[in-house]
A and B are shown apart, each in its own frame.
Chain A
Amino acid sequence: MASLMVDHITKSFGHFQAITDLSMKVPEGTIFGFLGANGAGKTTTMRMILDILRPDSGSITWNGQDVRQVPRRNWGYLPEERGLYPKMRVDEQLLFLARLNGLSKQDAEKELTEWLDRFQISANRKKKIEELSKGNQQKVQFLATILHDPTILVMDEPFSGLDPVNANVLKEAFLEMHRRGKTIIFSTHQLEQAEELCQEIVIINKGQSVVQGSVREVKRKPGRQVARLKLDNDPEAAWLEQLPGVQVTKRREDYIEMQLPAHLNPNVIVEAALQHGGIISRFEIAEPSLTDIFIELVGMSALPDVPSALSA
């Protein structure tokens, strides 16, 4: 099966080791989530996939062909740092980029009209970028990435800075590209989004792969399950702490969340609750969220929103 193969790549900048022996496989047609803290090496890896940077060692291939040989128009890149000519009109800008990426003028016009309609920004066609709202700028930026109908989309933090409505529009566009058989690699801090969209993910930390596979595989990897419990007459349920193997992780208004080893039957919790005379209004077995796994694997210090100057 066709795929993008990142094979044992290493990259250093001066003395700084940005990427160490990173390998990953992105099957064709999947949405691939690229997760990691700031400075983990996501952007560097993406730039190497796009052949903007070259790895010191290792190789990156698309269907067995070195990425350097893959024609440019097969790639669509949405950089983390958004950038468009602020004083240029939306249509002129997008046509320029689409043509630069290999589209003929007629094709570019056709695609442009179609996508502006889909994104409901046709009214802004003749406006300058700087006159648009931030959300609309993001949409235009997204169009700049996909207008030339690339096979592989590489998107660096596509959802950052979008309000829920626009995030949803973008999500729909993602799924549309997915339906069209495109391969989408995107990095994100919003793990819920990755959980919702991705078939495969990789989490990297300090330039190294921590875990990768399908979302389900990654979730099972820690070998734990998560249970949520709510007792109407005993919201504190202090006795939970005494149960062997059970670890309370969160106390929320409407439930208490706990982790328990995979081998432990969750029934022990229900039994214990009944023994303590609790009235169970909610009990569920949940998978750990990617956020939990991310925090566990990468560590608290590397939480996505920790302010940091790093963006490598």
Chain B
Amino acid sequence: MATNTVETPAKNAAEQQQGAVAVSSGAAAQNNLRNIGLILGREYRNLVKRRSFIITSVLLLVIVFLAAFIPTVIQLVSSGSSSSGQTSIVVVNEAGSVAGLNEAELTADITTALNGTSTGSSAPYVLSIQPQTRLPSLQSQVKDGKLDMLLVLERATNQNVRFTYYTTNSSTNDPNLSAIQGLTLQLTFFDTAHRLGLTSQETQRLAAAPDLVVVQTQPSQTTQLASESAAGFVLATAGVILIFISIQVYAGIVATGVAEEKSSRMMEILVNAATPFQLLAGKIVGIGAACLTQMGGLVVVGIGALLLQTPVQAALFGAHAGSFSQYLTGVSIPFYLLFLLYFLLAFFLYATLFAGLASLVKRQEEIQSVIMLPLLLMSSGYVLFFFVVATPDATVTKVLSYLPFWTPIFMLLRLAAGTVAWWEIVVTVALMLLTILACTWFAARLYRFGVLMYGQRPGLGQLLKLVRMN
């Protein structure tokens, strides 16, 4: 029995109840599954029919749907006035012969330098050569934004070609500048070589592509394409933020539900009809299922909207649109399944703790103070994530991923980096399951006497004493 210090026994009878141990009703245990099912069903319906839940779900669905369009919108905005997705460039040659090329050869050279092997509508640049007389009007066209780029070639006698580049873009944010720099460098190089007396064949040989072989020595990185690991990093960060926020919200709903039942005194009737374990399990699984429904809806809409980006972009930008579905397909299906698994485990772990602790409060407003401890635990893992996010292979990350309360966060990071052996997944999941079992045992004991206790909240020492009791 817990020993409480009491001034006058009769006066503090209510407080004394905190020493009471509400014992589970043996006979009610007969219908474990049936009762859990009934409670689960009630909790599920109660939550999904709640107006606030429906409104939140709809809002989130809209946000997720719109968020999927953000990259496309950014691309649309940054592609500027060109509705075709191609940038038009006009070259005015006042320099005469450049590198000994005639006008047709020069045009071909510039086109290749800018567009590479792309031709037709898939080429990023549309090139035209205009005579010198049009220069003033072309300059004003660039100023008015009607023309994207204008390149003027001039030459003083026996000097290098001088290039003047007019653009609609601001200097700090010009995606075309590097292309122009490459082009001008190449033209100057060829022109100088020609003036030094090399034939055009010799000049071409000078410009031959170097024979470069890249050898990556880290084995883990050879298994993943660059696009894959980039997508993985994005998904790991998004996943961790998602887990952090949704666990807090969803486990918070469980805690509120427990406190609600207690403050509305519903518990008084329920404890007669079902055991604390049934009540706890039904509540957590029921609310978990409702939350999973919401989450599932968001994921389906999110993936659907992302897949929608490819045809939308194709329509907007033509064939050189980036494929966003690579973010989805670039990371394998097992990653998503493991994400779901760790998410569920994290929910059960924290929800169980939250529920047990919430059974100690008298009013809903007090929930925050009792769930502080598990909340801090989760938040510290979240903060640590950003310290190790750049080093998924480091020993510290590995160690962190084995701590059950933080496993979901750090395993997600490691999975995204692709450095996890299958047995590590088995071990971490087993560790989490064990922790969940321990937490359920702990929470059920708290719950058993907590739900009928209306006196002053017991301290930590008293709590441990109560939990140890039979």
CB distance from B42 to the nearest CB of A (A): 5
CB of B4 within 8 A of CB of A15, answer: yes
Contact of A82 among B35, B39, B265, B273 (CB under 8 A): B265
A54 and B23 contact, Cβ closer than 8 Å, known pairs A15-B3, A83-B267: yes
Assuming the contacts A14-B2, A72-B272, A84-B266, asked whether A312 and B23 have C-beta atoms less than 8 A apart, the reply is no
A83, B264: Cβ atoms under 8 Å?
Answer: yes
Q: B309 → chain A, closest Cβ, in Å?
A: 41
Measured CB to CB, the nearest residue on chain A to B462 is A14
Q: CB-CB < 8 A to A86: which residues of B?
A: 264
Residues of B contacting A310 in the complex (Cβ-Cβ under 8 angstroms): 10-11, 13-14
Check: A168 CB closer than 8 A to any chain B CB.
Answer: no
Q: Is the CB of A14 within 8 A of B4?
A: yes
- CB-based contact A72/B25 at 8 Å: yes
Q: Is the CB of B12 within 8 A of A12?
A: no
Are B6 and A14 touching (Cβ within 8 A)?
Answer: yes
Q: Within 8 Å CB of B266, what residues of A? A: 83-85
A83 touches B268 (CB 8 A): yes
- Contact call B4/A79, Cβ cutoff below 8 A: no
Report Cα–Cα, A39/B16, bound state, in Å: 12
B271–A14 CB distance below 8 A: no
| A97–B269 touching, CB < 8 Å | yes
Contacts of A265 in B (CB 8 A): none
Nearest residue, chain B, Cβ from A77: B272
* Chain B 11-53 near chain A by CB (<8 Å), digits 1 or 0: 1111011111111011110110001001100100010001000
| Complex Cα–Cα for A158 and B130 (A) | 99
Q: Size band of the B side of the interface?
A: 35 or more
Question: B9 within 8 Å of A by Cβ?
Answer: yes
| A82 contacts across to B, CB distance below 8 A | 265
A82 to B263: give the CA distance in the assembly, Å.
10
A79 and B38 CA atoms in complex are apart in Å by 22
Query: When the two chains form the complex, which single residue of A53, A79, A88, A102 contacts B22, counting CB atoms closer than 8 Å?
Result: A53
The interface residues of chain B lying within 8 Å CB-to-CB of A77 are: 268-269, 272
Most A-side CB within 10 Å, residue of B9, B13, B16, B20 = B13
Task: Check: A295 CB closer than 8 A to any chain B CB.
Answer: no
Q: Which of B25, B46, B264 contacts A51 (CB 8 A)?
A: B25
Would you call A68 an interface residue if the criterion is a C-beta within 8 Å of the partner chain's C-beta atoms?
A: yes
Q: A85 with B27: in contact, given A13-B16, A15-B3 (CB under 8 Å)?
A: no
Do A85 and B46 form a contact, CB below 8 Å, given A51-B23, A54-B23, A77-B269? yes
Number of A-B contacts (CB under 8 A): 123
Tier of interface size on chain A? 35 or more
A290 located at the interface, meaning its Cβ lies under 8 Å from any Cβ of chain B in the complex: no
> Which B residues touch A80, using CB under 8 A?
268
Distance A68 CA – B25 CA, assembled complex (angstroms) = 7
| Bound form: Cα–Cα A309–B17 in Å | 13
Closest to B2 in A: A14
Q: Report chain B residues within 8 Å CB of A16.
A: 6, 9, 12-13, 16, 19
Cα separation A165 to B268 with both chains bound (whole Å): 26
Q: Is B377 an interface residue (CB 8 A)?
A: no
Q: A14-B6, A16-B9, A85-B266 are in contact. Are A69 and B26 (CB under 8 A)?
A: yes
Q: Any chain B CB within 8 A of the CB of A286?
A: no
Q: How far is the CA of A103 from the CA of B9 in the complex (A)?
A: 42
* B360 CB within 8 Å of chain A: no
Q: Judge whether B265 and A53 touch: CB under 8 Å.
A: no
A70-B27 in contact (CB<8A): yes
Whether A53 and B27, one on each chain, are in contact in the complex, defined by CB atoms closer than 8 angstroms, is: no
A289 within 8 A of B: no
The reply to whether B10 and A15 form a contact with Cβ atoms under 8 Å apart is: no
The CA of A286 and the CA of B28, in the complex, are separated in Å by 48
Q: Pick from A68, A100, A309: contact of B39, CB below 8 A.
A: A100
Question: Which residues of A lie under 8 Å from residue B27 when comparing CB positions?
Answer: 51, 68-72
* Residue from A15, A18, A88 with most neighbouring chain B CB atoms (10 Å): A15
Q: A100 contacts B17, CB within 8 Å?
A: no
Given A85-B266, A100-B38: A18 and B3 within 8 A (CB)?
Answer: no
Q: Which 5 A-B pairs have the closest CB atoms?
A: A83-B265, A79-B268, A13-B16, A14-B19, A81-B265
A-B contact pairs, 7 of them (CB 8 A): A13-B4, A51-B27, A52-B25, A83-B268, A84-B266, A145-B269, A312-B17
Q: A13-B1, A68-B25, A311-B14 are in contact. List 14 more A-B contacts (CB 8 A).
A: A12-B1, A13-B18, A14-B19, A15-B6, A51-B26, A72-B25, A80-B268, A83-B264, A83-B268, A86-B264, A100-B38, A100-B273, A309-B11, A310-B11
Chain A residues near B (Cβ < 8 Å)? 12-18, 39, 47, 50-54, 68-72, 75, 77, 79-88, 96-97, 99-102, 144-145, 206, 309-312
